[in-house]
Homo-oligomer: A and B are copies of this chain.
């Protein structure tokens, strides 16, 4: 069951933008993050939602899309995310968030997959601009942006080639391929 969720939980970058998200769904997803493990139980993560079109557009403009697809600047109108969860580190609560952001993001995205949604984590964010867009207090550091929506693309995992190239790519039909190292490559004896 979990393996199915993990397999289905790909990084999706094109969506049925007309599919609207509601605040309750995002609350359920963040609740999964809340109930997950936190380093030294400090729970220093905070979350902001965006589901309305104006805020979505402002957030979209701060994101760097798919670094390896040089001829693609991101999804066109109609295929953009239906919403976002911006994950913040609250500096007033801890000195570091440890690896809490990864844990939280994985819980959120596995929960999204269970709801037939999907998303993509962004570290490539114009943080200064997003800080302004969200009128964020300096106590918050933007850790990542999670784009969410109903996926409108196919993503396939493929074995890494002999050249060791890990860059994802698309074929002419727009199918997105992600080369993955083998299990024997990542487990040391």
Contact = CB atoms under 8 A, between A and B. Distances in A.
Interface string A95-112: 000111111111101110
Q: How many copies does the complex hold?
A: 2
Contacts of A100: 102
A82 interface: no
Contacts of A48: 187-188
Nearest to A136: B188
A170 interface: no
A87 B5 CA distance: 22
Q: Interface SS of chain A: helix, strand, loop or mixed?
A: mixed
Contacts of A10: 37
A186 B86 CA distance: 12
Given A1-B114, A114-B2, A37 B187 contact: no
Interface string A79-123: 000000000100000000011111111110111001000000101
Interface in A116-174: 121, 123, 143-144, 157, 166-168
Interface residues of A, number: 60
A168 B110 contact: no
A170 to B, nearest CB: 14
B186 A45 contact: yes
B188 A47 contact: yes
Interface in A4-53: 5-7, 9-11, 27, 30-32, 34-37, 39-43, 45-49
